[in-house]
Structures are given as C-alpha cells and as structure tokens.
Structure 1
Amino acid sequence: MIKVENLSFSFPQKELYTNISFTLEEGQHCAFIGTSGSGKSTLIDILMDPERYLFEGKLEIDPTCKIGHVSQFSQLDKTKETTVFEYIGEEFITLQNEITAICTEMETSTDLDSLLEKYQFTLDAFDSMGGADFESNMNKKLNLANLMKLKDVKVSDLSGGEFKLIQVMKEMLSHPDLIIMDEPDVFLDFENLNALKHLINSHKGMLLVVTHNRYLLNHCFNKIIHLENTEIQEFDGRYIDYNFSLLQTKMELQEIAVAEQEEIERYDNIIDNLRAIATYNSEASRGRALKARVRFQERLEARRIKAPFVDIKQPTINFGIDHEMEDTVVVNVNNYRVAFDELLLDNVNFEIKSTDKVAIIGPNGTGKTTLLRDIFINNQASIEINADVKVAYLSQNQGEVLTDSNTILEEFIDAGFQTYDEVRSYLSNYGFEGEIVNQKIASLSGGEKNMLQLAKVAASKANVLLLDEPTSHLDIYTQIALEKAIVDYNGAILMISHDFYSVVNGMDYVLIIDDKTIRKMSMRKFRQMIYASHFDRDYLEKEQNKKALEMKIELALKDTNFELAKVLVEELEEQIKLL
C-alpha cells in the first residue's frame, strides 16, 4: 500500500533521513521505533501530507489507500457537548441523516435521477464504513476496552486517557486502510494501556504505531521499523525477536571488529617497517610495495562494518546528591484532601523516608499529579517537608519546568551553570551535542524535552526527587538508563508512573489510590495485581531473567569473551521462547 524508496530529507540545522526505504503492506501491525529526536513524527507528517515537504526520492502511496491518524497531541474540545456515541459515530450519523434527508426529498421532488445518483453515492460511502453494523461494531470496541459505561457520557467529561482510546476507536471504525498513531500510549494508566493493547490486537487493518512502551512492543506487533542516525531498518517479526537479532548481530560485528583490528595493527607494523627501509633504500619497488600496503589498509578500514542500529549510545543519567540524609522521614502527608468539580482524594496519609523509592499508582484523573505538585510547592498544612531536604521536580506538563522560548544553552545557564562550555560538556552525557544546544526548546520532540528535564533534575543534586511520568516520550534506551539511575540513587524518590517495568525494576513499594484515598502496597502484592489484569503468571520474572542474561552477554562482549557470549546467547534464546 505504501512504498518509500531512497527518501532523503533535512531541516536547515539537521539531516533527518538519508536514502531510507521501507514498505507497509496489508495485514501488518508495525511498530515505529527510534531514539528521541530521530525524526519519527516528521516522517509521519510526510506520509500524511507529502505535498508539504521538499524531499528527495520516491514515496508511492496507493491512490485508493485511506489513511487514518491519531495524533500525539490530541486535545479534548471542552466546548462540544457531544456524547461518546455521537463523537465516535459522527461520520456514521452524518451519512445516516443525509440518507434520510434524500429519501424525504424524493417523496416530493420531480428530479429523481439526480437524487437517485446522490442517494447511491451516499449509500456507497455508508456501506464502505460498515454502516449497517456500525453501532454493533462500536459496542464491541467499547466492550473490548471495558468502556461501555462511557457510551452516553459527554466527551468533555472524559479523562485524557479515556479520550485517547475513544479517538483510536473512532479511527478504527471508519475503516481506513492504514491507521497511523503517534505515541497513543503516553500517560495511559494500566487499565487503559491494556485496553489499547486489546484494540490494536483486534484490528484487522494496517497499523503504523510510534511507541516506546515496552508492554505494547512485546505484545502487539508483527513488524518493526527502526529509525536511527538518518537510516532505517525493517524487521518482520516481534519486537522481542528483533532485540535478540540485534544482540546476535552485535556479537558478530564485535568479533569481526576485533579480528579486523588485529589485521590492521599487523599491517600498520608492516607499513612502518617498509617506511623505515625506504629511508635508506630508495628503490622504486620498495616505494610501490609501501603504496600497495597503504591502499590495502585503507580498503580494510573502509570495509569495517558500521552498525548504527546495533551500537546505540545510551545516555548517562546520574542522580547525585549534595547532602545525603540518615534514615529519617523527609516527606510527611497528613490528612491531605483535594477536590475540583468533585472530590478526588480525601484523608490521605503517608510518609517517605530518606532512601525510599515509591511509585504512586492509580487511574487517570484521580489526583496523582495534583498531589505531587502540592508536595513540590509545599504550601499546605497537610504536607510537611524535612528542613534539610532539597527537592527536584519533573513535570508531566513540560512547560512547568522548561521555558519554550529559551535555547537549551540558555535553559541551563538559567539553572545555575556558569558557562556555555560547562553546559555543553554536561549535556553531552544526555545526547545533546553539536548545534542542537542552540535550538529553542519549543522545537524539540517530547522525548528530548523529557530528557532535558531529567538532566536538570540530575544537575540539582537534590536528595528528594518528585517524578511525574518520567518515562513518557522517552526511547527505550533512555528508559533503561533511567531505571539504572534510579537504582543507583541514594536519596528518596516519589514517582507517578504507568510503566510496569520502571515500577517493578526500581521501586521499593507502591502507594495505590483506592476509593479516593491512598494505601501502601508491597511489591509482591503489586505484582500479583498486575498479573491478574495484564500478564501471564511469572511474566515479569521471566522478563527479569532475560534482562539479567542480556547484561551478562554485554559484560562478556566488553571483555571480548566471545565463547562465553555465545553460550549465554543460546540460554537467552531459550528464555525468549518462554515469553
């Protein structure tokens, strides 16, 4: 349906794609992955409206291909008083009303030929979107997502996560040939994320989904398109198999690289000897031999395999502390209450100690973000912060922490850095190198903005971190780096997250919202709750075993112990079969 051949495109300050090629075919559920800022959203814009962009190469889209789109930045229209049924069925209801109006007009009109033509045209459009079964199909989608209770609710009363799912349903029910979704999972709570998984897996048409969510990646897709360093790679199969293939390739490339380096060093020695001989023996044959050896060495260097998808640089996130504290209470919440149009939280009581790592868990719209922001602002009698505490805050609303009109350099000068060189050196650990530091923050991707927030949090050297959805928009490499930074951190963390992996891999316990208050839950009980709703039994343990094997393989490769790495890869392959 869609074929891209040798497509190249760049902005004045950044090259995005160099001769990339890929196809999208019927029946494919394709995950579109890549590090933050690599150009995924721009490529989607090109597919949606190629006439707006001056690119080189070929983009062939079947003229009959109808494309649906779920935007990354969709907003609720609070002015519309439509119900969920009316919103999802807008096109269906419009066509149904047109057909009724045409039939009514035909009862009195003398120009039946033109009305019959109009009637047939409208009826064909109605049939193409499954009009006869539309309401039945919509009910099935709502039931699949466990949202049937919302059918007659006003769209303006939905949470952001519920509205995202309703958008997905609306696009699916209009029966496009391809639906493109740009990070539809961002900020979805556990239940809504599971609903999105069910909707994706039940869809019969083509999907192209930008996502960094490991739960969706591991459970929803049969093709991977990976964009990195201006190049693209296609892989037919599951994401977990793609990762395994990357690891195998990395091992092969490192083994080849070590052998090639030894060969290059051997020829370096030969060339050095020939040069030494040439200083006292000027025979032409000696000069020709030297030139031949140099040319051979150059060819060997040129043949060295470059693998932009195999060896992606992971950022270095380090949450250091200026002042470590003994085992003492750093945050005390006593009888906290929050209400807007309705009561969200009441009689909330908990305390956080100086090294506790705690996740706040609960559905969308239950007051989690408001609670975290109130702790940061600290102007309520129900919240007490230890006098020795320094707090850093990462906001779900990036504009709370970052100033869009600043350049990246200006943002960190405002944060207390003394010189631009100091900022450049610091930010290189977070993947911001070269001219990008002169860009306005408004021009950055969501992932890049969240990475800047993490860099500011780390630079603060605070001993209490308040993190509101820190993994949102982050690519997988950065998510894993963040998990490591959390494990290594010696202070307290209070984190809102809907990412299973971050919670299970980094938290000591969870605070779960239940019946408008908060109760403490052990990690063991949290795992049991997650298994009951989302995973097969012991899935997360199997995932942890897989991760542990991958780390052992990385260490073996670092030591160039290829024999051990190969044995571990065989073990990993068996572990993957269990997932």
Structure 2
Amino acid sequence: MIKVENLSFSFPQKELYSNISFTLEEGQHCAFIGTSGSGKSTLIDILMDPERYLFEGKLEIEPGFTIGHVSQFSQVDNSRPMTVFEYIGEEFIQVQDEITAIYAEMATSSDLDALMEKSQSALDAFEAMDGDNYENTINKQLNLANLIKLRDADVSALSGGEFKLVQVMKQMLLRPDLLIMDEPDVFLDFENLNALKKLINAHKGMLLVVTHNRYLLNHCFNKIIHLENTELQEFDGRYIDYNFYLLQTKIELQEITVAEAEEIARYDGIIDNLREIATYNSEASRGRALKARVRFQERLEARRIKEPFVDIKQPNIRLGMDEAPEETVLVNVEDYSVSFDELLLEHVTFEIKSTDKIALIGPNGTGKTTLLRDIFRGTHPAIQVSDEARPAYLSQLQGETLQDSNTILNEFIDAGFKTYDEIRAHLLQYGFEGEILEQKIQSLSGGEKNMLQLAKAAGSGANLLLLDEPTSHLDLYSQIALDQAIQDYKGAILMISHDFYSVVNGMDYVLIIDNKTVRKMSMRKFRQMIYNRHFDRGYLEAEQNKKAVELKVELALKDKNFELAKKWVDELEQLIKQL
C-alpha cells in the first residue's frame, strides 16, 4: 500500500498541492485525472523518487515496494536492435543469463558459498517475476493485444502506438507492486486503444494511470483520484459513477448557492438601510447594529461553498469563422500517393469543401500525418489548394508549430498579434492568464501546448483547419470545450483523431483508410462499426439515452429548476446501471 497524508508542495512560481491525502491499495486500478498543468506528472515523480523533492506531509511506502513506470514520452532505442519478444522479455533473459553464468562459474570456483548465495538471490528474483512461464506469458499478452504477428519483428519497425503497447506489456510482466502509466493512450489508434483497454482490465496488480481518454475512463477503472486547484479527492468506484456523483453534488451546491444569494441580497438591503440611517442618526446603537450586520454578511460570504471538483471552468475555445461561407472547393486531392520504406497510400482522391468537417481515420503509421502536412504545405503535385483557402495546422509534434525557447507572449507576437493587451485578452479564453504568459513554452505541459496551438489557429483567421490529434494531452474539460468549438466553427476541418467521442460529436463524415487508400463513410455507419466491434449489443442506444438525459439535467439547472433536475437525475441513475 502507498499512503499519502497532508502532502503540500510548491514550485517558486506555483503552488501545486495543499494538504492532499490518498491511498493506493492492492487490486486497485486507479485513474488519475485533473486539468492540464495541475501537477499530475510531478506527483508521479514524487511517488517514484521522493528523495528528490522537499515536500511537507507524509509519504508512506513499504520497504521493498517496487514501482514500474510507462512514460508518455519514451522512444525506441535504435542502437540496440532486438525483436519484440526480446524487448518484452529483456529482464527475464538477463536474470536467466545471470543464473546460467553463476552455474558455469561454480564448476571452476572454490568459493562456492558466495556463489550459492548469489545464485539463490537470482533464483528468488526469477521466481518473483514468474520467470519459468515468461515465454508463455509474453505470447498470451501479445495475443490479448492482437500483436502476436509482431512477435519476431524488430522493435524499431513498430509504429508509435504499437511500441507503447509493447512498453505496457513489458512493465506489466515484471509484476511491480505498483505500475504507473502517464497518458499511455496518447496517439493510439482505436484498435490499439482497445488493446490497451484489454491489457489494463486483465492486469492483476495495482495501477495508477494518468489519462484524459474518455473511452478508457468509462471502461477500465475502479478508483478515481482527481487533482484540481491544489486540492485532491478520491472516489472508490467507476468514472461513470464519479461523474454521476459530481452531477448530484452540483445540483445540491447550486440549490444552496441560490438560497444563500437570496439571503445575502436581503442582508445587503438591510445594511444599505442602516448606512442610510447612520448618515443622519449618529446614535452608537445604530453604529453597533450596522457593524454586527456587516460581520454577519461577511460570515455568509465566507461560508459560500467552494467546490473545485464540481463546476470546473472550461476554456472558452473559439476557432473563428462565425458565419458560414459560400460553398466552394478549398482542396482537391487527386490520385495522391506516399511511401517511405514501403507504400503507405495510393490512389487517394477526395475534396474538401468550404464547410466540410471530415475525420481522417486509420491505423497508426498509415500516412495520415504526411497527407495532412502535404495539404498544409500545398506543394504536392496531386494536391490543389484554392487561393481562397487560409489553412492553419495543429501538429501532434508540438515543436513544429511552437518555439520552445519563446515565452507565450513572444510566441503570439511572432504570430502577428499587435499588442500584449490583445494577446492577453485572446489567451484568457484558453485558460492562460497572469504570470504563466511570461513562462517559456518548453516548461508547459503537453495539454497546455495543445491549447496554445488551438489559440494560434483561432487567431490566424483560418477558414481551413488541419488538426492532427487535437485532443491529445487535453484534459476532459478542454476536450468537451473543443468538441463544442468544432461544432460552432463555420469553416472547413480535416481532422486526424482516434478520439471516438470527438469524431462523432463534431464531424460530418469519415475518410477511413482501407487497403492503402481512403473511402468515404457516413457518420452513422462509422458509429455502428465501432460499437459492433467493441461494445455489447444495445450499448450505443443506452449511451445515447444517457447523453439525452444529461442534457435535460443541464437545461433544468440553467433554469434553476432544481426539482426537475433531481427528477432527471433519478432517471439518469437507472440508465447508468445499464452501462
């Protein structure tokens, strides 16, 4: 077990945690959520290496407790060629080779006692890893992730998504007491994301997973840790139940807030009357009455419930283009092909009209990003870009569009903004304010960098947005805000995304990569295809009903009709039980 009690920690420019407490216990699969920049990755670093940090509070980790880690930024080491099987089994093979070497040394050495002790230690380590079964276990994991065909492939030949799954398998098979994974879902295509879901759900050990992925959150975890505004709360149960609990709490808090606002307004009127009387009546008793009422008013204000987890402020993302343009063709792709070591795409033909919102869907490593870049650059002979097109590009490689050495302010001056006041007003909508504007971009989290890319695209006046995994690293609240901004945008969008929710919430249709080319698919068929492959029958209908009732709750809350909101919440609870 890991136990954290009243932990506080700050950087010179920012307080991260204020007296936070939580526990992680055997068998728990815990999702770690919170807005971008709230300190999730730093807390992971503290858990893994507490000696590096000067924090207040207690961190209790049992002696000998082992922690594995899957980083969000790890890359293949091309200097060490090995197969996928050798990479996953590397630790097992090393211990096995060590045992073999010790036995060989025993045959010639006179110091057998020391070697016996050494061999027993190695054998104990091998047994703790279940080393006798490691080959069978690796094959089972590869089968579970549908990657058995890559067993003997070179690791360097894997796509980014495939390598991430292989990393997850490698760490899981070492059986640490706690496995921490920092956004393992980033850039995974839907097939690989589903494989990650299976690996997580089959894992018997303790997990702590930083994720903003709505698919994983809804299907993988039995505990939630939520970090927000220096505070933390933990919830034993599914994410869908946690969201329901937050909605219930939101109704209660808003009902109390309305009642308190009415009480405060009544006391404001009394205080105003007492002040008016005090201007022409200077009796001491009048002054004491006024002071007493003011103090009571201050106590009312102080006890207003502040709940950082219930009503988190979403960024106000606006992508521009508030008025629909005349329908014209902005991009025409005719018989496009691309290859690197092998042919990725051929005979690709489609067009983008001025109001089209199109999702480009396909497995990792099939040329989607290259196609998007070629459209943005406008130099490929198979791609004709209209003179009327004003494209903006959001890259999954954030260094393509952001200069790490720039401050946020300087980045937007370089982008053509005229004044600091103009930049500050623009960035405020995206959650950037105060001292953070003077920070260098390299110090920002992945989610914050993606928000900056969105802010730059919105400020460019683009009528064609080329978005490569725009929801990657974004927290849940920013994803929902982006979904709405995409729906409101009147221009054209071509978006690469493996976020099922973003695709179905905002796109008109899908271009799906199939047999090295693309074919058009309606949103209805795409949605049905995903649900048929990955969900039980009836799940689609149940989830759609759930969303419809959630909308009714929100509308009732806007009207301050709390009794109606509670009625819909009761209905929502029954629907959630079906999921």
TM-score range, shorter chain: over 0.9
Query: Helix, strand or coil for the counterpart of 1:273?
Result: helix
Structure 1, unmatched stretches of 5+, are none
Query: Helix, strand or coil for the counterpart of 1:78?
Result: coil
Deviates more, 1:428-437 or 1:350-359: 350-359
**Match of 2:342?**
342
| In structure 1, distance between residues paired with 2:29 and 2:88 | 22
TM-score of the two chains, using structure 2 as the length reference = 0.98
Letter in 2 for 1:145: A
Deviates more, 1:121-130 or 1:557-566: 557-566
Map residues 195-344 of structure 1 onto 2, 5 A cutoff. Answer: 195-321=195-321, 324-344=324-344
Q: Is the 8 A contact 2:155 2:163 kept in 1?
A: yes
**Match of 1:44?**
44
Q: Deviations over 1:185-207 (max 9, x none)?
A: 00000110000000000001110
Structure 2, unmatched stretches of 5+, are none
Map residues 482-561 of structure 1 onto 2, 5 A cutoff. Answer: 482-561=482-561
Query: Helix, strand or coil for the counterpart of 1:5?
Result: strand
| In structure 1, distance between residues paired with 2:162 and 2:25 | 30
Q: Quote the offset at 1:283 in angstroms.
A: 3.8
| In structure 2, distance between residues paired with 1:506 and 1:527 | 13
| In structure 2, distance between residues paired with 1:536 and 1:464 | 37
Q: Quote the offset at 1:322 in angstroms.
A: 8.3
Query: Helix, strand or coil for the counterpart of 2:17?
Result: strand
Q: Quote the offset at 1:541 in angstroms.
A: 4.2
Q: Quote the offset at 1:64 in angstroms.
A: 2.4
Q: Does 1:408 align with 2:404?
A: no
Q: Quote the offset at 1:81 in angstroms.
A: 0.8
Q: Deviations over 1:3-28 (max 9, x none)?
A: 11111111111111111111111111
Letter in 1 for 2:303: R
Q: Deviations over 1:69-94 (max 9, x none)?
A: 00010111122211111111111001
Letter in 2 for 1:519: R
| In structure 2, distance between residues paired with 1:405 and 1:196 | 35
Q: Quote the offset at 1:550 in angstroms.
A: 2.1
Deviates more, 1:290-299 or 1:490-499: 290-299
Query: Helix, strand or coil for the counterpart of 2:429?
Result: helix
**Match of 1:394?**
394
Q: Deviations over 1:366-398 (max 9, x none)?
A: 100000000100101100111211111111111
Letter in 2 for 1:112: L
**Match of 1:32?**
32
Query: Helix, strand or coil for the counterpart of 1:246?
Result: helix
Q: Deviations over 1:393-427 (max 9, x none)?
A: 11111111111111111111111111111100111
Letter in 2 for 1:251: I
Letter in 2 for 1:237: G
Q: Deviations over 1:217-245 (max 9, x none)?
A: 00000000011111101111110111111
Q: Quote the offset at 1:463 in angstroms.
A: 1.2
1:113–1:399: structure 2 CA closer, same or farther, 3 Å change rule? Answer: same
Letter in 2 for 1:374: D
Deviates more, 1:515-524 or 1:269-278: 269-278
| In structure 1, distance between residues paired with 2:528 and 2:203 | 29
| In structure 2, distance between residues paired with 1:227 and 1:512 | 37
1:461–1:578: structure 2 CA closer, same or farther, 3 Å change rule? Answer: farther
Query: Helix, strand or coil for the counterpart of 1:430?
Result: coil
Map residues 167-186 of structure 1 onto 2, 5 A cutoff. Answer: 167-186=167-186
Query: Helix, strand or coil for the counterpart of 1:495?
Result: strand
| In structure 1, distance between residues paired with 2:196 and 2:477 | 23
Query: Helix, strand or coil for the counterpart of 1:268?
Result: helix
Map residues 73-88 of structure 1 onto 2, 5 A cutoff. Answer: 73-88=73-88
Q: Is the 8 A contact 2:325 2:490 kept in 1?
A: no
Letter in 2 for 1:63: P
1:98–1:258: structure 2 CA closer, same or farther, 3 Å change rule? Answer: same
| In structure 2, distance between residues paired with 1:544 and 1:41 | 34
| In structure 1, distance between residues paired with 2:101 and 2:558 | 73
Q: Is the 8 A contact 1:80 1:156 kept in 2?
A: no
Query: Helix, strand or coil for the counterpart of 1:335?
Result: strand
| In structure 2, distance between residues paired with 1:544 and 1:429 | 30
Q: Is the 8 A contact 1:31 1:210 kept in 2?
A: yes
| In structure 2, distance between residues paired with 1:307 and 1:428 | 22
Deviates more, 1:50-59 or 1:220-229: 50-59
Map residues 131-210 of structure 1 onto 2, 5 A cutoff. Answer: 131-210=131-210
**Match of 2:352?**
352
| In structure 2, distance between residues paired with 1:142 and 1:414 | 47
| In structure 2, distance between residues paired with 1:291 and 1:327 | 66
| In structure 1, distance between residues paired with 2:532 and 2:256 | 46
Deviates more, 1:12-21 or 1:178-187: 12-21
Q: Is the 8 A contact 2:329 2:351 kept in 1?
A: yes
Letter in 2 for 1:46: I
Q: Is the 8 A contact 2:322 2:488 kept in 1?
A: no
Query: Helix, strand or coil for the counterpart of 2:317?
Result: coil
Q: Quote the offset at 1:323 in angstroms.
A: 8.2
Q: Quote the offset at 1:108 in angstroms.
A: 2.6
TM-score of the two chains, using structure 1 as the length reference = 0.98
Superposed CA RMSD: 1.4
Letter in 2 for 1:164: K
Q: Is the 8 A contact 1:323 1:463 kept in 2?
A: no
Q: Deviations over 1:249-279 (max 9, x none)?
A: 1110010011111111222222233333334
Deviates more, 1:562-571 or 1:251-260: 562-571
| In structure 2, distance between residues paired with 1:194 and 1:324 | 37
Q: Is the 8 A contact 1:322 1:462 kept in 2?
A: no
Q: Quote the offset at 1:280 in angstroms.
A: 4.0
Deviates more, 1:550-559 or 1:169-178: 550-559
Q: Is the 8 A contact 1:129 1:174 kept in 2?
A: yes
Q: Is the 8 A contact 2:322 2:489 kept in 1?
A: no
Map residues 58-97 of structure 1 onto 2, 5 A cutoff. Answer: 58-97=58-97
Letter in 2 for 1:260: E
Q: Is the 8 A contact 2:392 2:462 kept in 1?
A: yes
| In structure 2, distance between residues paired with 1:549 and 1:123 | 58
Letter in 2 for 1:439: Q
Q: Quote the offset at 1:210 in angstroms.
A: 0.3
Letter in 2 for 1:73: F
| In structure 1, distance between residues paired with 2:79 and 2:325 | 50
**Match of 2:380?**
380
| In structure 2, distance between residues paired with 1:330 and 1:343 | 27
Q: Deviations over 1:138-196 (max 9, x none)?
A: 11111110111111111111111011001001111001000000000000001100000
Q: Quote the offset at 1:455 in angstroms.
A: 0.8
**Match of 1:56?**
56
Letter in 2 for 1:91: E
Q: Quote the offset at 1:526 in angstroms.
A: 1.1
| In structure 2, distance between residues paired with 1:553 and 1:25 | 35
Q: Quote the offset at 1:578 in angstroms.
A: 2.2
| In structure 2, distance between residues paired with 1:557 and 1:108 | 81
Letter in 2 for 1:158: L
**Match of 1:118?**
118
| In structure 2, distance between residues paired with 1:543 and 1:270 | 50
Query: Helix, strand or coil for the counterpart of 2:364?
Result: coil
Q: Deviations over 1:79-117 (max 9, x none)?
A: 221111111111100111111111122223222211111
| In structure 1, distance between residues paired with 2:536 and 2:500 | 14
Map residues 99-110 of structure 1 onto 2, 5 A cutoff. Answer: 99-110=99-110
Q: Is the 8 A contact 1:322 1:461 kept in 2?
A: no
Q: Is the 8 A contact 1:70 1:180 kept in 2?
A: yes
Q: Deviations over 1:474-509 (max 9, x none)?
A: 011111111111111111111100011011111111
Deviates more, 1:353-362 or 1:538-547: 538-547
| In structure 2, distance between residues paired with 1:26 and 1:72 | 24
Q: Quote the offset at 1:290 in angstroms.
A: 2.6
1:225–1:322: structure 2 CA closer, same or farther, 3 Å change rule? Answer: closer
Q: Quote the offset at 1:292 in angstroms.
A: 2.3
Deviates more, 1:568-577 or 1:62-71: 568-577
